[in-house]
Homo-oligomer: A and B are copies of this chain.
Amino acid sequence: MSPTLRVGVIGATGLAGQQFLAALSGHPWMKLVKVAASERSAGKRYAEALLDGSGRSRWYVGEPLDPAFADLTVEDAREMTADGLDLVFSAVETEPARELEPRFAAHVPVVSTASAFRYEPDVPIFLPGVNLAHARLIDAQRKNRGWKGFITPGPNCTTVGLAITLRPLADAFGLKLVVMTSLQAVSGAGRSPGVAALDMIDNVVPFIAKEEEKVQLETKKILGACSEAGITPHGALVTCTCTRVPVIDGHTEAVFVALERRASVEEAKQAMRAFGRDFLALGLPSCPQELIHVSDAPDRPQPRLDRERGAGMTTTVGRLREDPALENGLKYVLLSHNTKLGAAKGAILTAEWLATQGYVG
């Protein structure tokens, strides 16, 4: 398809970084050539950098570590350069992202899972198939900042399934109000320390710091209209409550919407099922066969049964029904994989699209 892209991952030893490595293993036209992490890991083989004090490997991703990646030497992220790279994936935390990402963006595109730049006016929050028209901002960003590259963060993992499923409804019927409650998996919180087992056995924690604000803001930005002047957030009202439940992977969201125009259940299902055809037709390596799978079963989606649909890249919608309590109301439940579509694999899919559009290399 395209010539091989040489990519680097910063924040490579954390859980988000590991997910990048898992997703890049065997990629048909991306080749991982550099990995970076904190000073502590610098100079070690990647596999060794994962060992804790007791010799336990902190490789927490389900897929095995690619032996080729195990032998890469970890660089200090503050000292690594963009030399020899066509693209950088960033899996660092918000604070270090503020310094590290611009340093790389001066030279090459940076596709990130960090939130540091999500709310800047000249930065699009790409969600593949949903708002690729926001790519218009990239040129503005380069110009504003004097960069050869650019930064495109993906959305918060909880925003992902919500924005994907709202897009076809907004397009077809207009969107006025969104009320959402999330039941989020623990993997989203990383692992050092992440969520404590004491909080997740026989329990629910109905609070995730800053999550609701992110979802409310990002959903409207992603669904917004983009001109050269920037993005106008979508006018729908969006409110949510975010909770953590004892699930490893897969965020479940109960969604209630009021639409501009009435949609029957069948019309809504049809809109979701038809969504993204043009994007799917590109046949990108990390793209699933459906962006949204609508289930007619009465008791789906369920995280353990549905999260791996489309290799973790398809959002599953179920229980779609009319909601007489809201104006032109619908309600449904969605499930999206927070550490695949909602993190590294989603970022890689974005990068694949950017590459096919000539933004990379």
Contacts and interface: CB of A to CB of B under 8 A. Distances in A.
A206 B239 contact: no
A305 interface: yes
A40 interface: no
Contact of A179 (B196, B324, B325): B325
Contact of A325 (B198, B199, B239, B300): B239
A197 B204 CA distance: 12
Could you say which of A179, A198, A199 has the most chain B C-beta atoms within 10 Å of its C-beta? A198
Interface string A159-197: 000000000000000000111010100110001111111
Interface string A271-284: 00000000000000
Measured as residues with beta carbon below 8 angstroms from the partner, the interface class of chain A is 35 or more
B239 A243 contact: no
A351 to B, nearest CB: 27
A326 to B, nearest CB: 7
A8 interface: no
Contact of A245 (B183, B305, B324): B183
A299 interface: yes
Contact of A194 (B197, B246, B303): B197
A109 interface: no
